[in-house]
Amino acid sequence: MTGAIVEQSQVIHGYRRAYRIGGEGSAILFIHGIGDSSRTWDDVLPLFAENHLVIAPDLLGHGDSDKPRADYSIGGFANGMRDLLAVLDVERVTLVGHSLGGGVAMQLAYQYPHLVERIVLVSNGGSGRGVSTWLRLATLPLGPELLTLLRLPFSRTGLSISLRLLRHLDHDLGVDALDLARITDALPDTRSRQAFARTLRSVVDWHGQVVTMLDRSYLVEDIPTLMIWGDRDGIVPFRHAGQARLAMPYAHLDVFHGAGHFPFRSDPERFVRTVEQFVRSTDPATWDRDAWQKRLRTGPETGPEAAPEASRHRTMP
């Protein structure tokens, strides 16, 4: 199965969970963002599968997984990842989480640190309040209906023109125009759009992001962590990378200049090279229960203002 990616599914707690899997070796779990699916990783999974066991699930309510009226919280998704790993008999993984998936990865590391060897956060949510206006609009009471309207022919034409205009004006959101259109097209029916709305409302409201990963980031400071961010991100602003760095001074930051919210799609070869280098250069985390409990009781030793000045910041060529 090395290098070949196959689509499979498991029924867990009565719901179908779809995932892609392939390769052999140390395991990497890829967690996609809101409204997306495991297909978002298509360009990089075969490359990683040359050296690793790769697992890319469709979160509940996304892709080919079931879309019930259910729990679409960050904690619920983290539990789903734990259960899938248990069903697949995978004991430990390196986590790669994109956007919302980065929040799920961090939540999984908080709740089940013994499962996690490393963390890679890609354009991750939960590092600040700011988020694109179109996501905030989608949280409003008529959000699912708005998504339905966007699929009508005249709306699709207008959306296409708007996205092309943003690209022409060199607006950051225009950098991600093709992927935004792709995600909108991936919500073809009412159940998909309702699941999207429930997921979004669990982490975002009209004022911005309501869930943060920063207040508990000290709990995973013993886990090697890499952050990857495009400096033209129009969905989760690049300035959030600085806020995350202050809260997580132990993490590395690699900036993909000119990339938007999906750096693994705009430059897949560089993304694979960056992550592979990180995996090779770090040892898997070892979980010390006593140390973890002590840290949980006492809280962080220092505040964000004590973080070293970019001592671990790296910008890849």
Catalytic residue, from 233, 252, 254, 266: name it.
233
User: Active-site residue among 66, 261, 266, 267?
Assistant: 261
236 closest CA partner among 219, 201, 261: 261
Active-site pick, 37, 38, 65, 99 = 99
Q: d(Cα 195, Cα 2) in Å, to the nearest integer?
A: 34
Q: From residue 55, give the alpha-carbon distance in Å to each of 5, 36, 76, 101.
A: 9, 16, 19, 14
Q: 3-state SS of 75-131?
A: HHHHHHHHHHHHHCCCCCEEEEEECHHHHHHHHHHHHCHHHEEEEEEECCCCCCCCC
Active-site residue, 73 included:
no
> Is 99 one of the catalytic residues?
yes
CA-to-CA distance for 19 and 8, rounded, in angstroms? 6
What is the token pair recorded at 128? 């600040």
Tokens 């052999």 correspond to 24
Q: What is the DSSP code (8-state) at residue 73? A: S
Rounded Cα gap, residues 72 and 195, in angstroms: 8
Q: How many residues are there in the chain? A: 317
Per the annotation, the verdict on 38 as an active-site residue is: no
The residues assigned a catalytic role are 99, 233, 261
